[in-house]
Amino acid sequence: MPEIANTETSVGSSNDRSTDVPDFSNWTCPLPLAGYPTIVMGHGGGGKLGNELVEHLFLPAFRNAALENLGDAAVLNLPSGRLAMSTDSFVVQPLFFPGGSIGELAVNGTVNDLAVSGAVPRYLSASFILEEGFPLAQLAAIVEAMAAAATTAGVRIVTGDTKVVERGHGDGCYINTAGIGTLREGIQVGPNRAKPGDAILVSGTIGDHGMAIMSVREGLEFESQIRSDCAALNGMIGDVLDAAGMAVHAMRDPTRGGLASTLNEIAQASGVGIAIDEARLPVRTEVQSACELLGLDPVYVANEGKAVFFVAPEAAEQVLAVLKAHPLGCDAAVIGQVTAEHKGMLVARTAMGSNRVIAQQIGEQLPRIC
Amino acid sequence: MKYLTEFRNGEIAQRMAREIHAIATRPWKIMEVCGGQTHSIIKNGIDQMLPAGIEMIHGPGCPVCVTPLELIDKALAIAAQPGVIFCSFGDMLRVPGTDADLFQIKGAGGDVRVVYSPLDAVEIAAKNPGRQVVFFGVGFETTAPANAMSVHIAKRRGLKNFSVLMSHVLVPPAIAAILESPGNQVQAFLLAGHVNSVMGYWEYPPIAEKYRIPLVVTGFEPLDLLDGIRRAVIQLEAGRYEVENAYERIVTYDGNQPAQKMLAEVFEVTDRAWRGIGVIPKSGWRLSEGYREFDAAERFHITGIHTEESPLCRAGDVLRGAIKPAECGAFGKECTPRHPLGATMVSSEGACAAYFNYGRFLSAEDLATAGSGLTHA
């Protein structure tokens, strides 16, 4: 991987191009955290220091009845019916980036995985693996971001854990979240349910998150700032399912590996071909420019606030209208359709009128020499 | 995007393709020199738009592909040394050496870092005075000025812990070598526009004259490529052999003079081995006497390297334009981007990777009908 910006330079410096990266230079701890401005091994030791973190940081931020019991497990009341469960770990660097932080990612990532499975996200767990020496100010900012994201998404963080690893054995802060949601009635979605004829829609511009991360990680300075699209999609997806119900056959949030990986996975899982029209892919000019500069293809770049929908053709117009009416879906577009030909493959019609296969990526995209 | 989107207009592309159809009366074989051009041709299906008789032959201009295996093994050996920070452009990381690639060295604890400019490697050296920082300086004339500048700056700043493992190669001797190889079929060249943005095209008229071959300075976008092909075909049909500039928005006859001055100071011409092709006389640059102390190959004295190429890999034939990637018996079978046997399957500019990634293992009919289900709103 490229040289990783250390947290001091990526967070502490208040440069004007990263206006939403917090400035911790004048931060003082509002809480009596035993005088430690940074994480020490004792914070993960199960003693007084660890309790202080819970009482003064996690509890006030995430406060809810299930969490306040501080038992070994949260006890939850759930309606009867089917449940969905998902988990994800977050190791992003830098921890703070234009448009969000690891905190929002950790909440929205799991919320979105539940939502695209057709579930209403309800409860999350949050586990932190912190590196000795990690500034408490940054942890506080991350926790606040998680609390705000949970409120926006309408989920509660009901249980958690903190471990501390020795300096050099972690990357500042890793977060794992797991989530439980209740499956909606009257829908059947899955990556194996796409059918020939289905229209394929994407809820907005692609590649924003990956290029936002790259723009701060690599120290590349673009004229205009690219912001991560990190967002909870459960509200927008709920609107789509309310309107189209059974007409929605498959949904995915195209995160790592980008749109290309998601479409290839669905083509393979459903045993169908997928044809998209490159000219219809929504891509921000600044994202396209940054990709050109680095020799990357936006179809492979990560998103954190976009969903792809496979819907029956007669419902395409309606779903597009619902998406466009939602603040997170204003750039939504129909980008292609499912076909019975070239099963398991993603084929794009180029602007030149020719067709090309968009293959599954092997590893991460590597910037070209020239 | 200015200077890009207007050169990707599908309608104009179709018009230019029709014009080429109207001009061409005979079959012609045209080589695009640069891997970036190969990538664009295959990605955009430019070759599918041409008359059946006009064949694009893919040239050796992929710096990752032609870097000798021995140098890659040297890089791996240096990168594995404790205390070394090994800096490289991204697409060198997956290139297989005899036993490993840089990703594996990194996984085993080597400090391998991707940089976007060799000047970043100089900064890393300045910040880590206790460690040796090595930059893997490969490429054609395009990347050479920045690499030269890095050495120049390191010398001026007195950095004793910075060095470059270098394999710079040059386009004009490679073109001459292809034209002199027995069985050569190339009848015209699209020159690598970004090389010419640095070097200009003053070096090329003697080649056009000596080999009586049209040379067209060409860009990388679909309309650039179609214009380059169109101009090459016009020359071929008329029996002319001139150097022509179809990339005027970037390239001038003289090129970037300050860059050339820097290159002349830091580098000297040397014989160079090209992976899959062999040694081409006077086809590369090495550090000149005054900068030799920054040569990583001398600083690290790596010996005992025994390279072994896969016997199945025909990358050399692909790089010379003798075969198309899909004509290699291992293509898509033993050799895929996941398990590459040769560098042409690794680099995104490599012809084999371009063919594989854009589905050229499918028949032409498959591809032609692949998107037929699309309805246009």
What residues of A are in contact with residue B368 (Cβ under 8 Å)? 355
Nearest CB to B222 within list A2, A352, A367: A352
pLDDT tens column, B11-59: 999 999 999 999 999 999 999 999 999 999 998 999 989 999 999 999 9
- H-type alpha helices, chain B: 10-23, 35-44, 46-49, 63-66, 69-79, 102-107, 118-127, 144-156, 171-180, 193-199, 205-211, 222-238, 257-266, 296-300, 315-319, 351-357, 364-370
Percentage of chain A surpassing pLDDT 70?
87
Residues 63-102 of B with CB under 8 A from A: 63-64, 89-94
- Identify whether A309 is part of a domain: yes
Give CA angle at A234 (A225, A347), nearest 5°. Answer: 70
Tell me if chain A has a CB within 8 Å of the CB of B52: no
- Interface touch B374/A273, C-beta < 8 Å: no
Assess whether A167 and A34 both reside in one domain.
yes
| B350 Cβ contact partners less than 8 Å away, ≥ 6 residues apart | B35, B62, B64, B65, B343, B344
pLDDT of the residue at A367: 63
The domain spanning residue A316 has which CATH number? 3.90.650.10
**Token digits for A315?**
């419902």
Cα A43 → chain centroid:
28
- Tell me whether residue A150 is exposed, middle or buried, using C-beta atoms within 10 angstroms of its C-beta: 0 to 12, 13 to 18, 19 or more: buried
Assess whether A128 and A213 both reside in one domain.
no
Q: In Å, what is the CA distance from A313 to each residue of A310, A337, A339, B182?
A: 9, 9, 12, 58
Is B126's pLDDT higher than 60?
yes
Mean pLDDT of all residues belonging to chain A = 88
B262-269, long-range: CB within 8 Å, 24+ apart, which pairs?
Answer: B262/B145, B262/B148, B262/B149, B262/B152, B263/B141, B263/B144, B263/B145, B263/B148, B265/B148, B265/B152, B265/B290, B266/B148, B266/B151, B266/B152, B266/B291, B267/B144, B267/B148, B267/B168, B269/B170
Residue A19's nearest CA partner among A225, A214, A189 is A225
Tell me if chain A has a CB within 8 Å of the CB of B348: yes
Is B279's pLDDT higher than 80?
yes
Assess whether A159 and A253 both reside in one domain.
no
Buried b / exposed e along B255-280 (16+ C-beta atoms within 10 A): bbeebbebbeebbbbbebbbbbbeeb
Assess whether A62 and A175 both reside in one domain.
yes
- Interface touch B366/A289, C-beta < 8 Å: no
Is A328's pLDDT higher than 60?
yes
What residues of B are in contact with residue A349 (Cβ under 8 Å)? 371, 374
Is B349's pLDDT higher than 80?
no
Determine the distance in angstroms separating the CA of B65 from the nearest CA of chain A, rounded to an integer.
Answer: 11
Is B159's pLDDT higher than 60?
yes
The residue-averaged pLDDT of A10-27 equals 49
Determine the distance in angstroms separating the CA of A343 from the nearest CA of chain B, rounded to an integer.
Answer: 10
- Tell me whether residue B99 is exposed, middle or buried, using C-beta atoms within 10 angstroms of its C-beta: 0 to 12, 13 to 18, 19 or more: exposed
Domain hosting residue A258, numbered range:
199-357
- Interface touch A362/B338, C-beta < 8 Å: yes
Q: With H, G, I as helix, E, B as strand and everything else as coil, classify residue B326.
A: helix
Q: Which residue of B has its CA nearest to A275?
A: B371
Residue B293's nearest CA partner among B141, B132, B87, B79 is B132
The residue-averaged pLDDT of B147-167 equals 96
Q: Would you give the DSSP letter of residue A8?
A: I
Is A18's pLDDT higher than 50?
no
Q: In Å, what is the CA distance from A214 to each residue of A219, B90, B213?
A: 8, 13, 44
The residue-averaged pLDDT of B275-280 equals 87
pLDDT tens column, A269-297: 999 999 999 999 999 999 998 898 888 89
Nearest CB to B113 within list A3, A285, A336: A3
Assess whether A244 and A151 both reside in one domain.
no
User: What amino acid occupies position A223?
Assistant: E
pLDDT of the residue at A218: 64
Q: What domains sit in chain B, N to C, each tagged with a CATH number?
A: 5-63+178-245 (3.40.50.11750), 65-170+277-299 (3.40.50.11740)
User: Is the separation of the CB atoms in B284 and B169 below 8 Å?
Assistant: yes
Assess whether A17 and A139 both reside in one domain.
yes
pLDDT band per the 50, 70, 90 thresholds, residue A8: very low
User: Is the separation of the CB atoms in A335 and A347 below 8 Å?
Assistant: no
pLDDT of the residue at B255: 97
Is A4's pLDDT higher than 50?
no
The residue-averaged pLDDT of A339-345 equals 92
- Interface touch B49/A292, C-beta < 8 Å: no
pLDDT tens column, A43-64: 888 788 888 888 889 999 999 9
Alpha carbons B71 and B169: distance in angstroms, whole number = 13
CB atoms within 10 A of CB A340: 12
Is A354's pLDDT higher than 50?
yes
- Identify whether A363 is part of a domain: no
pLDDT band per the 50, 70, 90 thresholds, residue A14: very low
- Interface touch B44/A350, C-beta < 8 Å: yes
Tell me if chain A has a CB within 8 Å of the CB of B375: yes
pLDDT of the residue at A223: 65
pLDDT tens column, A120-160: 999 999 999 999 999 999 999 999 999 999 999 999 999 99
Determine the distance in angstroms separating the CA of A54 from the nearest CA of chain B, rounded to an integer.
Answer: 36
The residue-averaged pLDDT of A96-112 equals 96
Is A221's pLDDT higher than 80?
no
pLDDT of the residue at B319: 84
Assess whether A271 and A305 both reside in one domain.
yes
**Residue of A280, A338, A356 to mutate, interface with B, max B Cβ within 10 Å:** A356
Of A153, A183, A213, which closes a domain?
A183
pTM, two decimals, is: 0.84
- Interface touch A366/B140, C-beta < 8 Å: no
DSSP symbols for A206-275 = SSHHHHHHHHHHS----SS---------HHHHHHHHHHHGGGEEEEE---TTHHHHHHHHHHHHHT-EEE
**Residue of B221, B223, B357 to mutate, interface with A, max A Cβ within 10 Å:** B357
What residues of A are in contact with residue B353 (Cβ under 8 Å)? none
- Interface touch A353/B10, C-beta < 8 Å: yes
pLDDT of the residue at A24: 66
The residue-averaged pLDDT of B348-356 equals 86
- Tell me whether residue A219 is exposed, middle or buried, using C-beta atoms within 10 angstroms of its C-beta: 0 to 12, 13 to 18, 19 or more: middle
Determine the distance in angstroms separating the CA of A340 from the nearest CA of chain B, rounded to an integer.
Answer: 9
Assess whether A230 and A165 both reside in one domain.
no
pLDDT tens column, A162-190: 999 999 999 999 999 999 999 999 999 99
The residue-averaged pLDDT of A25-35 equals 56
Determine the distance in angstroms separating the CA of A221 from the nearest CA of chain B, rounded to an integer.
Answer: 12
User: What amino acid occupies position B111?
Assistant: D
Q: How many Cβ pairs closer than 8 A exist between chain A and B? A: 149
Higher per-residue confidence, A366 vs A343: A343
pLDDT of the residue at B182: 86
Q: With H, G, I as helix, E, B as strand and everything else as coil, classify residue A135.
A: strand
Q: What is the number of domains present in chain A?
A: 2
Cis peptide before B129 (omega within 30 of 0): no
pLDDT of the residue at A5: 35
pLDDT of the residue at A366: 65
Nearest CB to B369 within list A285, A341, A367: A341
What residues of A are in contact with residue B224 (Cβ under 8 Å)? none
Of A135, A153, A183, which closes a domain?
A183
pLDDT band per the 50, 70, 90 thresholds, residue B366: low
Residues in chain A, overall count: 370
pLDDT band per the 50, 70, 90 thresholds, residue B1: low
E-strand spans in chain A? 83-90, 96-97, 100-101, 119-131, 156-165, 173-183, 199-202, 248-252, 273-277, 308-311, 333-339, 346-349, 355-357
Is A28's pLDDT higher than 80?
no
- Identify whether A367 is part of a domain: no
Of A155, A183, A211, which closes a domain?
A183
Alpha carbons B335 and A312: distance in angstroms, whole number = 39
| B154 Cβ contact partners less than 8 Å away, ≥ 6 residues apart | B122, B125, B162, B294
pLDDT of the residue at A35: 64
The residue-averaged pLDDT of A101-125 equals 97
Determine the distance in angstroms separating the CA of B139 from the nearest CA of chain A, rounded to an integer.
Answer: 7
The residues with which B274 forms a beta bridge, in sequence order, are: B278
| A23 Cβ contact partners less than 8 Å away, ≥ 6 residues apart | A12, A14
pLDDT band per the 50, 70, 90 thresholds, residue B345: confident
pLDDT band per the 50, 70, 90 thresholds, residue B375: very low
For residue B281, the surrounding DSSP H or E stretch is strand B278-287
Is A217's pLDDT higher than 80?
no
User: Is the separation of the CB atoms in B343 and B275 below 8 Å?
Assistant: yes
Alpha carbons A124 and A108: distance in angstroms, whole number = 10
First to last CA, chain A: 19
Is A13's pLDDT higher than 50?
no
Percentage of chain B surpassing pLDDT 90?
68
- Interface touch A362/B337, C-beta < 8 Å: yes
pLDDT of the residue at A71: 84
- Identify whether A62 is part of a domain: yes
Residues in chain B, overall count: 377
Assess whether A350 and A305 both reside in one domain.
yes
- Identify whether A163 is part of a domain: yes
- Interface touch A369/B64, C-beta < 8 Å: yes
Is A15's pLDDT higher than 60?
no
Assess whether A248 and A345 both reside in one domain.
yes
The residue-averaged pLDDT of A238-258 equals 96
Alpha carbons B24 and B234: distance in angstroms, whole number = 8
Alpha carbons A122 and A118: distance in angstroms, whole number = 13
Alpha carbons A116 and A263: distance in angstroms, whole number = 14
- Identify whether A334 is part of a domain: yes
Nearest CB to A292 within list B1, B103, B143: B1
Assess whether A164 and A299 both reside in one domain.
no
Determine the distance in angstroms separating the CA of A332 from the nearest CA of chain B, rounded to an integer.
Answer: 15
pLDDT of the residue at A215: 84
What residues of A are in contact with residue B221 (Cβ under 8 Å)? none
Assess whether A17 and A102 both reside in one domain.
yes
The domain spanning residue A13 has which CATH number? 3.30.1330.10
